[in-house]
Structure 1
Amino acid sequence: MRRWFGLALISCFMVLIGALLQPASDRLIAAETESNYSAQQDYSQDYGQRLMHSHQGDRPIATPIVAQAPAIPVVSERVTYGSLEGTPVQGYLARPADATEPLPGLIVIHEWWGVNDNIEMMTDRLAGEGYTALAVDLFEGQVADTPEQAREQVQAALQTPERLEENLRQAFQYLQTEQESPSIASIGWCFGGTWSLNTALLFPEDLDAVVIYYGGQITTDAETLSPLQMPILGIFGELDDNPSPETVREFEATLNELGKSAEILIYEDADHAFANPSGTRYNAVAAEDAWNRTIAFLNQHLQE
């Protein structure tokens, strides 16, 4: 017994010596990694809480408006557009039923609820305007019915932002190669609005247009926004605080100072998620005008 106890003490001593002799650079890298992970946790929790506040009392309640038909018949299917660490990633793909040639592509990015009936309906409607529309799934199959569930899946997804970025890269490549889309834009709402802008930042010279519906975490940093080369349409609500009208105006001013092509709209009496007909914040007048402006914007920069 004394022999085994002695060996255990020697083992512990060697581990301690090894840690002390570890190169300082390695210790700094480890500390920095831990610090970055902690900061990422704090960010994801804070963002999840902010979205929770923005959706206070909201629910993804189905309404007849959700069933609004696209302008022309479309066909849709589930497709595998990528793979993350060996796990296939599926999305919802829609295109005009009579399409025979490659069409401009849209990366459609869901709200914090996930790829639910509303997102599939919006994807169908976008396809009905003459596009190949791919609703990506950044939550990889998770769909929330309550704000509490939505907050959890947002926080979980933001723990690995590099996984979200890779998801979007593969979506872009899928539209570009598999669908042969001659031009590609991104569009998203809420959580997806933020990630629509992030998609533009991933492809600052290759994405042809970007549409942002009330993306709460839009950056106003000039250095970050400077590389963007595509036209930008931003759609926000006056009553929203995520982002606030003040932040939106700062975002607009930064883009203008940088000489970017940007159209930024703030709708009166419209709150966060005002364009979602399956939610309790729906504002029909603002939503319809925003939709018409969105289609005109996409047609101008992708179809002409």
Structure 2
Amino acid sequence: MPHISISAATATAGQQAEQGAYLAVPVPTADRPGPWPGVILVHDAFGPGDDMQEQADWLAAAGYVALMPDLFQGRSWVRCVKGVFQQLAAQRGPVFDRIEAARARLADRADCTGSVGVIGYCMGGGFALVLAGRPGYDVASVNYGPLPRNLDEVLGGACPIVASYGGKDTGLKGAAANLRAAVERVEATADIKEYPDAGHGFINRLKIPSPLPTLMRIAGVGYDHDSAADAKRRILTFFDQHLSLG
């Protein structure tokens, strides 16, 4: 089944909490019968909806076991997003515990090689960038994720990173250039690209209730086919290079 439960340690020692997650597994083929590398998918600020599930399915079709934990624990993004962003800024908290529980569960699966990457979109891209500098990940894909204030510290010892930003993303203006400069300072391995015709969220096909879609279009947020296709090509090429397909 695509939806599973994961036990994650809570802040109180010795207690466990169940969290939901979406799982996408490759179809065995003659050239890639499994096991396969794993990828943790960190969803965007709107939660683990249809678009995020499609991203997980895309990764599975490319030969990766994709696992997306529900950081909102089944609650509305409106109620949860502020608190999750606060934990992202602090770079600690229960959300990081939930992601780590998902990573450990994924790495231990019989159909996973034990090699794990992380990919994130928007808010999730910010988490992917922070996690790139932590143990347990072999590669990270950062898609229009916010940059932490301690960027050089985060990138110190980071796994290889493939990052994509939109040139028309007014909320993250200069992020690609700033990330590229930091990568050069710490001599990290990275492929960073800014797409001049794309805005924020250009890889995602969001299904958001009215009137948000209209407001998002006005703000330059939305899907861009050509930019998305190139970014996804780069992600898979980078993952194939740095996350062994076994």
TM-score range normalised by the length of the shorter chain: 0.7 to 0.9
Deviation at 1:247, TM superposition (A): 3.0
SS at match of 1:104: strand
Alignment of 1:214-293 (within 5 A): 214-219=144-149, 221-228=151-158, 230-244=159-173, 246-278=174-206, 281-293=222-234
Alignment of 1:32-51 (within 5 A): none
Number of residue pairs aligned between Structure 1 and Structure 2: 219
Counterpart of 1:82, as a letter, is S
The equivalent residue for 2:6 is 81
The alignment status of 1:105 with 2:30, answered yes or no, reads no
Counterpart of 1:284, as a letter, is H
The alignment status of 1:176 with 2:107, answered yes or no, reads yes
Q: Distance in 2 between matches of 1:173 and 1:266?
A: 32
SS at match of 1:278: coil
Deviation at 1:202, TM superposition (A): 2.9
Counterpart of 1:258, as a letter, is V
- Please provide the CA RMSD for this pair: 1.9
SS at match of 2:243: helix
Counterpart of 2:116, as a letter, is I
Q: Distance in 2 between matches of 1:91 and 1:232?
A: 24
Answer 1 or 2: which has greater strand percent: 2
The alignment status of 1:208 with 2:138, answered yes or no, reads yes
Which of the pair has more CA radius of gyration? 1
Listed as ranges, the gaps of 5+ residues in structure 1 are: 1-75
Q: Distance in 2 between matches of 1:286 and 1:136?
A: 27
Share of identical aligned residues, percent?
Answer: 28
TM superposition score normalised by structure 2:
0.82
Q: Deviations over 1:242-275 (max 9, x none)?
A: 321x232121111112111111000011101111
The alignment status of 1:195 with 2:195, answered yes or no, reads no
SS at match of 2:35: coil
TM superposition score normalised by structure 1:
0.67
Question: 1:275 touches 1:286 (CA, 8 Å); kept in 2?
Answer: yes
Deviation at 1:125, TM superposition (A): 1.0
The equivalent residue for 2:74 is 141
Answer 1 or 2: which has greater helix percent: 1
